[in-house]
Amino acid sequence: MKGIAHFSMGVAIASCVPAAVRSALDGNGWPLVLGGIAGILPDTLDFRISRYLAAHDVEIVPDPLRPDASMIAQGVAWAIDRCAARRRGIRLRLRSIRMASDRWQSYAVRFDPAARKVIVEYGPVVDPGGGIVCGCPPEAGGLRLRAEAKVRADLRIEYEAEISVAGFDGPLLYLEQMKDGRISVGFLPWHRRWSHSLFLAASAGIASWLAWGTEAGVAAGCAWAAHALADHCGYMGSNLLFPLTARREEGLKMMHSSDFFPNLAAVWASLTVIFLNLGLYSRPRPFACGMAYWRALFVGCIVPLAVIRYLLGRANRGIRVEKSGVRKKTKRRN
Amino acid sequence: MIALAAIIGAVAGAAVGLVAGCVPGLHVYNVMGLLAIPAAHCAAADGAAGVALTAALAAMAASYCIFSAVPSVLFAAPDESAVFIVAPSQRGLMEGRGIESALTVMAGGVCGVCALLAAMPLAGQRLASAANRVLHPHFGWILWSVTAFMLLSEWPKTGGEYPAGWRRLARGWMTPAAGLLTFFLSGFLGCLLMQRPVVPPSSAFQNLMPALVGLFTLPWLLLNIACGTRIPVQKQPQPGEGAPVPVLALGFAAGFAGGAFAAFFPVVTGGVGAMLAGQALSVRDWRAFLFSQGVSRSVYLCGSLLLGFLPDYPLLRGGGSRLIASIRRPVGQADFFLALAAVAVGVSLACWSAGPALRAAAKLIARFSCSSISIVSALIALLLVFAAAGWRGLLVACVAAGIGLLPIVFGSRRLNCLGVILLPIALEMSGFGPDIARFLGPLP
Amino acid sequence: MSEHESGVCPVCGRFVGPADACPYCEAEGISPQPVRMLRWGALFSSTAGIIFLWLMARHSEPAMIRAADISPQMHLARVVMEGFVERGSSAGAETATDGRIWFRLCDGTGSIMVKAEGMAARRLAARYGKPDRGEFVTVFGTVEMDRRGRAVLRPAAWTIRPGAEKNLRKRGEPSCAAVTDTPQGREGLLK
> Mean pLDDT by 10-residue block, N- to C-terminus, for chain B (444 residues)?
88 90 79 72 66 90 90 71 64 83 91 94 87 89 95 82 81 89 95 87 84 89 80 77 79 93 90 89 85 92 92 83 78 88 94 88 85 88 87 93 91 90 91 84 69
Question: What would the mean pLDDT of C135-164 be, rounded to a whole number?
Answer: 83
Q: What's B228's DSSP letter?
A: T
Which chain A residues in 7-26 lie under 8 Å from chain B, judged by CB atoms?
7-8, 11, 24-25
Residues A323-334 have pLDDT tens digits of 444 444 444 444
End-to-end CA distance of chain B: 51
Q: State the pLDDT confidence band at A71, using cuts at 50, 70 and 90.
A: very high
Return left, alpha or beta for C110; rule: phi > 0 is left, psi -120 to 50 is alpha, else beta.
left
Q: Which DSSP string corresponds to A137-155?
A: PPP-TT--SEEEEE-SS-E
For A101, the closest of C13, C17, C118 (CB atoms) is C17
For residue C187, pLDDT over 60 is answered with no
CA nearest to A91 within chain B: B164
| DSSP H/E element including A31 | helix A30-45
Among A101, A191, A283, which would you mutate to test the B interface (most chain B Cβ atoms within 10 Å of its Cβ)? A101
CA nearest to B275 within chain A: A4
Task: Judge: A101–C7 Cβ closer than 8 Å, yes or no.
Answer: yes
In sequence order, the 6+-apart residues with CB closer than 8 A to the CB of A281 are: A18, A21, A22, A25
| Helix ranges, B196-217 (H) | 209-212
Touching chains, A (3+ CB pairs < 8 A): B, C
For residue B91, the chain A residues in CB contact (below 8 A) are 102, 127
For residue A98, the chain C residues in CB contact (below 8 A) are 15, 17
Rounded to the nearest 5 degrees, what angle is found at the Cα of C151, between the Cα atoms of B331 and B141? 90
Strands (E), B140-196: none
Question: Counting Cβ atoms within 10 Å, is residue A303 exposed (0-12), middle (13-18) or buried (19+)?
Answer: exposed
Which amino acid would we find at residue C176? C
For B36, the closest of C69, C73, C119 (CB atoms) is C73
Among A22, A25, A26, which would you mutate to test the C interface (most chain C Cβ atoms within 10 Å of its Cβ)? A26
* Residue C47 and residue A131 in contact, taking contact as beta carbons nearer than 8 Å: no
The CA distance from A289 to A281, in Å, is 9
For residue C169, pLDDT over 60 is answered with no
Residues A32-69 have pLDDT tens digits of 999 999 999 999 999 988 988 888 999 999 998 888 99
Q: State the pLDDT confidence band at C97, using cuts at 50, 70 and 90.
A: very low
Question: Counting Cβ atoms within 10 Å, is residue A291 exposed (0-12), middle (13-18) or buried (19+)?
Answer: exposed
Task: Judge: B81–C7 Cβ closer than 8 Å, yes or no.
Answer: yes
* Residue B420 and residue C56 in contact, taking contact as beta carbons nearer than 8 Å: no
What is the overall mean pLDDT for chain C? 75
List the one residue out of A238, A259, A118, A253 whose CA is nearest residue A189.
A238
Q: A157: which strand partners?
A: A185
The CA distance from A205 to A225, in Å, is 10
Largest CA distance in chain A: 76
For residue C91, pLDDT over 50 is answered with no
Report CA torsion sign: C118, C123, C129, C131.
Answer: negative
CA nearest to B277 within chain A: A4
Measured in angstroms, the CA of B441 and the nearest CA of chain C are apart by 5
Q: C160: which strand partners?
A: C137
pLDDT at residue C177 in the model: 46
Tell me if the bond preceding C174 is cis, omega within 30° of 0. no
pLDDT at residue C190 in the model: 28
Q: Which DSSP string corresponds to A92-105?
A: EEE--EEEETTEEE
Helix (H, G, I), strand (E, B) or coil at A136: coil
Integer-rounded Cα radius of gyration of chain A: 24
Phi, psi of A189 (to 5 degrees): -65, -25
Q: What's B242's DSSP letter?
A: S
pLDDT at residue C94 in the model: 47
Q: What percent of chain C has pLDDT over 70?
A: 73
- Cα→Cα distances B243→A104, B103, B247, B256, Å: 22, 12, 7, 18
For residue C21, pLDDT over 60 is answered with yes
Residues A291-318 have pLDDT tens digits of 678 888 888 899 999 998 988 888 777 5
The CA distance from B385 to B401, in Å, is 13
Measured in angstroms, the CA of B332 and the nearest CA of chain C are apart by 7
The total of other beta-carbon atoms located within 10 Å of residue B402's CB is 24
pLDDT at residue B443 in the model: 67
End-to-end CA distance of chain A: 14
* Residue B418 and residue B273 in contact, taking contact as beta carbons nearer than 8 Å: no
Tell me if the bond preceding A128 is cis, omega within 30° of 0. no
Q: What's A194's DSSP letter?
A: S
The CA distance from B403 to B400, in Å, is 5
Q: Which DSSP string corresponds to B339-378?
A: HHHHHHHHHHHHHHHHHHHHHHHHHHHHHS-HHHHHHHHH
β-strands B328-329, C101-106: how paired?
unpaired
List the one residue out of B155, B103, B120 whose CA is nearest residue B353.
B103
Question: C88-99: buried (b, 16+ CB within 10 Å) or exposed (e) per residue?
Answer: eeebbbeeeeeb
Which amino acid would we find at residue A188? L
Crossing angle, helix A18-25 and helix A3-15, to 10 degrees?
A: 90
Q: State the pLDDT confidence band at A210, using cuts at 50, 70 and 90.
A: very high
For residue B226, the chain C residues in CB contact (below 8 A) are 34-35, 37-38
Strands (E), chain A: 58-60, 90-94, 97-100, 103-112, 117-126, 132-134, 146-150, 155-157, 162-165, 172-177, 183-187, 317-321, 327-331
Which amino acid would we find at residue B444? P
Touching chains, B (3+ CB pairs < 8 A): A, C
pLDDT at residue C166 in the model: 47
Residues, chain A: 334
End-to-end CA distance of chain C: 63
Task: Judge: A263–B282 Cβ closer than 8 Å, yes or no.
Answer: yes
The total of other beta-carbon atoms located within 10 Å of residue B204's CB is 23
Helix (H, G, I), strand (E, B) or coil at B257: helix
Among B57, B81, B86, B168, which would you mutate to test the C interface (most chain C Cβ atoms within 10 Å of its Cβ)? B81
For residue C3, pLDDT over 90 is answered with no
Measured in angstroms, the CA of C95 and the nearest CA of chain A are apart by 16
- Cα→Cα distances B262→B304, B306, B371, Å: 8, 13, 34
The CA distance from B58 to B12, in Å, is 11
The CA distance from A196 to A240, in Å, is 6
Helix (H, G, I), strand (E, B) or coil at B436: helix
- Cα→Cα distances C175→C87, C93, C170, Å: 11, 19, 9
pLDDT at residue B419 in the model: 94
The CA distance from A20 to A9, in Å, is 15
* Residue A260 and residue A267 in contact, taking contact as beta carbons nearer than 8 Å: no
Q: Which DSSP string corresponds to B4-66?
A: HHHHHHHHHHHHHHHHHHHSTT--HHHHHHHHHHHHHH-GGGSHHHHHHHHHHHHHHHHHHHH
Question: What would the mean pLDDT of C6-31 be, rounded to a whole number?
Answer: 80
Measured in angstroms, the CA of C167 and the nearest CA of chain A are apart by 38
Which amino acid would we find at residue B68? S
The CA distance from A199 to A194, in Å, is 9
Crossing angle, helix A214-231 and helix A3-15, to 10 degrees?
A: 140
List the one residue out of C83, C138, C91, C87 whose CA is nearest residue C107.
C83
Residues A158-207 have pLDDT tens digits of 888 899 998 778 899 999 998 888 999 999 999 998 999 999 999 999 99
pLDDT at residue C5 in the model: 55
pLDDT at residue A289 in the model: 55
For residue A231, pLDDT over 90 is answered with yes
The answer to ipTM > 0.95 is no
Question: What would the mean pLDDT of A125-132 be, rounded to a whole number?
Answer: 81
For residue A100, the chain C residues in CB contact (below 8 A) are 7, 15, 17
* Residue B322 and residue B314 in contact, taking contact as beta carbons nearer than 8 Å: no
| Greatest mean pLDDT range, B197-206, B289-298, C1-10, C79-88 | B289-298
The total of other beta-carbon atoms located within 10 Å of residue A326's CB is 8
List the one residue out of B338, B75, B40, B363 whose CA is nearest residue B216.
B75
Higher pLDDT, A284 or A148: A148
pLDDT at residue A283 in the model: 64
Q: A97: which strand partners?
A: A105
Phi, psi of C7 (to 5 degrees): 80, 5
Which amino acid would we find at residue A52? Y
Residues, chain C: 191
